[in-house]
Structure 1
């Protein structure tokens, strides 16, 4: 079936026609068109000289045989039907898994947030009560726990017992911030 003597004139003729067409394309449409057509023109001879004609002939013959057996074979059509079933089943199963995982995630986050809310309310209210009663003897509420307390100088228990240098001397807790306050006042910020 395959014969070198048959393919040489075919490839040489195709290349010669391509070179002539490239010459005319070069004159009419410019250098880019001529060079592009010349590149296509030399391919048939390159294929023949490298021995790829035999490879292309073998591949082409096997492809034609497969297609002709494919069209008339009931086994092949049943195989195609199974490919179709697989192509439908696999994405559907993946989508179902994603949906189940999303539902499980929603249920878990719902359980966790419900448990956290109930627990944080109890802890928050006891913490607020403790914070409110720590220094002043007042009872605090949950509303007061989130608000910062204003510190006024000269009012309330602003001084505490300190043990600086081993002496029982009272110190102002804001004494450490006097330098910062002075700098802010000099710059007109405070």
Structure 2
């Protein structure tokens, strides 16, 4: 109840300032002031002021537990280990060749793999590292033949 009254008083004060600004024929500034001054009463009516207080109280209790409980610190340690493991796997997977180092896929019933090991696939550029545009090599070749 007191919070709602305080928010209404803040909004009323802001609207009074907006009226004085409008009296001076600064309508754009007055409109902005009026918009900002309606925020406190809107927050109170929507219940977000109470929610903010509850979040603040919960954050304070959590911070007190952070200092006083070793299990909270162990929880941060577990989160750090999880992040470290995830990062290491991302680094390792970035260094592995495509396909994760497994043998090339074979067509069912075929005696040899569809793409022989050690040879680049048709349409791929030979030479250095893959630039990420190798899938468009066929399109590029067609455009060159047509003179585009």
Give the TM-score normalised by structure 2: 0.55
Choose the corresponding residue for 2:88, options 74, 87, 92: 92
1:50-72: CA deviation from partner (whole Å, max 9, x where unpaired):
44443333233222222222233
Match of 2:45 in 1: 49
Tell me how far 1:29 sits from its aligned partner: 9.2
1:137-164: CA deviation from partner (whole Å, max 9, x where unpaired):
xxxxxxxxxxxxxxxxxxxxxxxxxxxx
1:72-117: CA deviation from partner (whole Å, max 9, x where unpaired):
3222122112212221220211221232234838x96883439xxx
Deviant stretches of 4+, over 4 Å: 24-29, 107-110
Match of 1:131 in 2: none
Mapping of 1:139-178 within 5 angstroms? none
Mapping of 1:106-185 within 5 angstroms? 111-113=117-119
Task: For 1:8 and 1:104, locate their aligned partners in 2 and report how far apart those are by CA, in whole Å.
Answer: 65
Tell me how far 1:48 sits from its aligned partner: 2.6
Choose the corresponding residue for 1:59, options 31, 55, 58: 55
Matched residue count: 109
Task: For 2:68 and 2:24, locate their aligned partners in 1 and report how far apart those are by CA, in whole Å.
Answer: 50
Whose helix fraction is larger, Structure 1's or Structure 2's?
1
Tell me how far 1:15 sits from its aligned partner: 0.9
CA RMSD of aligned residues (A): 3.2
1:118-177: CA deviation from partner (whole Å, max 9, x where unpaired):
xxxxxxxxxxxxxxxxxxxxxxxxxxxxxxxxxxxxxxxxxxxxxxxxxxxxxxxxxxxx
Tell me how far 1:25 sits from its aligned partner: 4.9
* Structure 1 unaligned spans of 5+: 115-190
Larger Rg: 1
Choose the corresponding residue for 2:4, options 2, 8, 12: 8
1:86 and 1:25, CA in 2 relative to 1: closer, same or farther beyond 3 A?
farther
Task: For 2:79 and 2:25, locate their aligned partners in 1 and report how far apart those are by CA, in whole Å.
Answer: 49
Higher RCO structure, 1 or 2 (CA under 8 Å, sep 6+) = 2
Give the TM-score normalised by structure 1: 0.45
